[in-house]
Amino acid sequence: MEKVTVLVIEDNPTWQNRLRRWFERYECQVDVAGSYLEAESRLTQRTYDMVTLDMALSPDEEQSGVAGSSGWELLVNRLATDSPHTNVYVLSASFEGEPQRAFELNQRYGVKDFMPKGRGFDPTHLQAWVTEIREAPKPPGRDTAPPIPTTGGLPAHLYQQLVALLLNCGPFDTDQGLKALFVDGRLNAWRNQLPTAPTPTGRAEALIDLLYDKQNDQGNALLLFLDVLTGRVAPDDNCHARLQALAQRLQPHLS
């Protein structure tokens, strides 16, 4: 039986152990993160089939520290954009009183399901989640790199994360918006080579195809583009740190 990979994001040691035991009983490979920052680190190291989040749905609960609900929501947003094939589930002590909040998270970020802690907790729901993932058709491109018409290429999961992050943080709505970034001296050599595409996704994919194997005396063209784009984003914007982190993960594949 193929093991489902699970990341449990939970800051309560009792619940950490409880969830780990249940998932291991269902033949899962389990990692645990006790904070938002630890979860970010785990997610840069591997791809998970399933993530469970201890997330406060009530605005009055768990507002302090890295485990606060604002941090969790940033993480849910990151998962939705960077890891679209990861199934996200929320466990919350405040779920029963916040059905509308749960609905909004489902609509905005694709959270698959919710379950309350305490008396409403039912481990058979965990088993049902695992079974659903195990029996689902494997997402296309999970283990193979997307076709890139030149030699080399990027690992599939990094390629997917890069496209998603560019769409979330970059000016890909129009060809002109993208071209404006290439006024920068680091990118100017490729300004007249920019491909056009009818959709934002097409523009992002075409840009990667153009730049990933290009170089100048300042470095790899795709890494330079990410550096220029990062410089256009405010330091306190969530995109700033995410662009920097992804550039670091891409560097071994582009140098």
Q: Tell me, yes or no, whether 245 lies in a domain.
A: yes
Residue linked to tokens 């934002």: 200
Task: Give me the pLDDT at residue 149, please.
Answer: 36
Whole-Å CA distances, 56 to 35, 105, 110, 133, 155: 13, 12, 17, 25, 34
The reply to whether 17 and 122 lie within a common domain is: yes
Flag whether 150 is in a domain. Answer: no
Same domain, 119 and 179: no
> Across residues 68-80, what is the average pLDDT?
63
The encoded tokens of residue 138 equal 């494997």
First to last CA, the chain: 38
Same domain, 113 and 160: no
Contact between 33 and 54 under an 8 Å Cβ cutoff? The reply is no
* Average pLDDT of span 78-95: 78
pLDDT at 60 over 50: no
Same domain flag for 14 and 131: yes
Question: Are 201 and 248 within one domain?
Answer: yes
Average pLDDT over residues 146-175: 70
Amino acid letter, 162: L
- Strands 50-54 and 4-9 come out as parallel
Domain-located, residue 204: yes
Say whether 206 sits in a helix, a strand or coil. helix
Q: What confidence score (pLDDT) does residue 101 get? A: 64
Check whether residue 130 and residue 194 sit in a common domain: no
Is 58 a member of any domain?
yes
- Does one domain contain both 13 and 129? yes
Distance CA 243, CA 233 (A): 9
| 208 in Cβ contact with 147 (< 8 Å) | no
Domain edge (last residue) among 105, 135, 165: 135
In the predicted structure, residue 190 carries a pLDDT above the cut 90: yes
User: Would you say residue 67 lies in a domain?
Assistant: yes
Q: Is residue 143 part of a domain?
A: no
3 state SS of 9:
strand
Asked if residue 109 and residue 12 are part of one domain, the reply reads yes
CB neighbours of residue 39 within 10 Å: 26
Flag whether 184 is in a domain.
Answer: yes
- Per-residue tokens: 29: 């490979």
Split into its structural domains, the chain has a count of: 2
Residue 94's pLDDT band, with cuts at 50, 70 and 90, is: low
Highest mean pLDDT: which of 7-21, 45-59, 100-114? 7-21
Write out the residue range of the structural domain in which residue 201 sits. 156-254
Instruction: Tell me the mean pLDDT in the region 27-55.
Output: 87
- What average pLDDT does range 154-170 have in this prediction? 80
Question: Pick the residue with more confidence: 250 or 81?
Answer: 250
The answer on 111 and 8 residing in a single domain is yes
Q: Are residues 9 and 131 in the same domain?
A: yes
